[in-house]
Amino acid sequence: MHAYRASLLRFNPDRSAVYDEDGLLVVGPGPDGTQIVHAAGAWQELRARHAGLSITHWPGHLIAPGFVDLHLHFPQTDVIGSPAEGLLPWLEKYTFPHESRFHDPGHASEVAGFFLEELLRQGVSTALAFATSHPASVDALFTQAQARGMRLITGKVLQDRHSPDGVRDDTEQSLLDTESLIRRWHGVDRLGYAITPRFAPTSTPAQLRGAGELAARHPGVWIQSHVAENLAEIAWARELFPDSRSYLGTYADFGLMRERAVYAHCIHFDDADRQLMRETGAAAAVSPTSNLFLGSGFFDYAGADRVGFRYGLASDVGGGTSFSPFKTMLAAYCVGREGQTKPGLSLSPQHLWWQHTAGAAQALGLEGVVGNLQPGCEADFVRLDPRATPLLARKMAQVSSLDELLFALIVLGDDRLVVQTVLAS
């Protein structure tokens, strides 16, 4: 067992934060050898009970749960910052050509290694990521994540139509490949598999049906896709699947909505869609920097909370513009201020931070496993230096509440805040 003494942030089940200015985090091996949290709380309260332990003391630093990125694309690491008129031209002009290179295991492995190092450098310890349609891209990302002991979920993209040569796959082979990748990787160390139809317009009904059958046979695996991001995309999806009640309804019709199903964007929803999310236990990956960059629209926070479905924050790199959870949380705040049907929502800093940690973990069905530092959680955490820049140091001298502290970090923070990311493996 080992203990860390510093300021300490964690979350209650009701989304509120618990903060100990002088805190102690005690970690040690859990039943499967992964480091878990044995105790967390105020130093004064815990010191006597843990008197014999070796303690690492980081005065002035803040220990917080490792961030959870609920949706991004590792093969789009080099697509960041590619402007286009909107989603569909962006896919055609930049994304598909970049992704077509990932049949090459050497290229896939080099990008996967860079991608994971960048996530860790930014404080992200868990991610649900798209690979490409090439099985080699999945092997590359899992291999690199396993070597680092990261909790990572990914899957081979399914896209057997309306996709150019080089990324389009074959219906039957794509489902066989998915099944063999599930058997090879799901549940190995800290890795998990996600059945990954890109989005309804690029899959035939036969491929979506096969994906739904795989999801039924493997209830522990995740499902990830995109939905209701962009008006042109929605019109296309409705044309291709006219019998479904809505675009989201198409996924339900093929058995692709259940717990552990994560849909990116979920912007242009009606209340029946929101109810479908709630009833099935599916979750939304809210990607504000991507939505702003591609001009897609804004996630409706009030609608989501009124109906009550799960959601969490995501970078959506490379539609998203940053790997930094601080940039994503700030963009989410701005979207709350201006992008709502009733503008002027003020998402609290605790709620923003929760969305990128405990909330995103809950969306993955990993509540109490990652995204928090309560006893029993896997001990993935970030060590932040709240005085990392001259402006932050100035600001820190003036904050007088937890909300002020967290807001300052969200608004002024970036990778300079992250001293290190410590993984539980």
For the bound state, the minimum distance from the C-beta of residue 320 to ligand GUN, rounded and expressed in Å, comes to 8
For the bound state, the minimum distance from the C-beta of residue 105 to Zn ion, rounded and expressed in Å, comes to 23
Question: Which range of residues in 87-95, 274-282, 350-358, 411-419 is near ligand GUN by CB under 6 A?
Answer: 87-95
Q: Which residues pair with 113 in a beta bridge?
A: none
For the bound state, the minimum distance from the C-beta of residue 222 to ligand GUN, rounded and expressed in Å, comes to 17
**How far, CA to CA in Å, does 12 sit from each of 64, 124, 368, 384?**
13, 20, 11, 21
Number of residues that bind ligand GUN (CB under 6 A): 11
Q: Which residue, judged by CB position, is nearest to ligand GUN in the bound state? A: 319
Q: Could you give the string, one character per residue 163-202, with x where binding to ligand GUN holds by CB under 6 A and - elsewhere?
A: -----------------------------------xx---
> Is 73 a residue that touches ligand GUN (CB under 6 A)?
yes
> Is 351 a residue that touches ligand GUN (CB under 6 A)?
no
Q: Is 19 within 8 Å of 402 (Cβ atoms)?
A: yes
> Is 203 a residue that touches ligand GUN (CB under 6 A)?
no
Angle 113-119-123 (CA atoms, 0-180°, nearest 5)? Answer: 145
Helix (H) or strand (E) holding 284: strand 283-286
Residue number with CB closer to Zn ion (53 or 84) = 84
Reference 222, options 285, 313, 164; nearest CA is 285
Q: Compute φ and ψ for 214, nearest 5 degrees.
A: -65, -40
d(CA 145, CA 265): 25
Residues 227-256 that bind ligand GUN (CB under 6 A): 229
Residues 303-322 that bind ligand GUN (CB under 6 A): 316, 319
> Is 98 a residue that touches ligand GUN (CB under 6 A)?
no
Partner interacting with residue 10 (select from Zn ion, ligand GUN, none; CB below 5-8 Å by kind): none
Partner interacting with residue 141 (select from Zn ion, ligand GUN, none; CB below 5-8 Å by kind): none
Tokens 């969200």 belong to residue: 410
For residue 377, give every residue at least 6 positions away whose Cβ sits within 8 Å of its Cβ, in sequence order, or none. Answer: 36, 37, 65, 368, 369, 370, 371
d(CA 134, CA 177): 9
Residue number with CB closer to ligand GUN (91 or 153) = 91
d(CA 2, CA 227): 44
d(CA 413, CA 388): 9
In the complex, the residues that contact ligand GUN under the rule CB under 6 A are: 73, 87, 91, 95, 198-199, 226, 229, 290, 316, 319
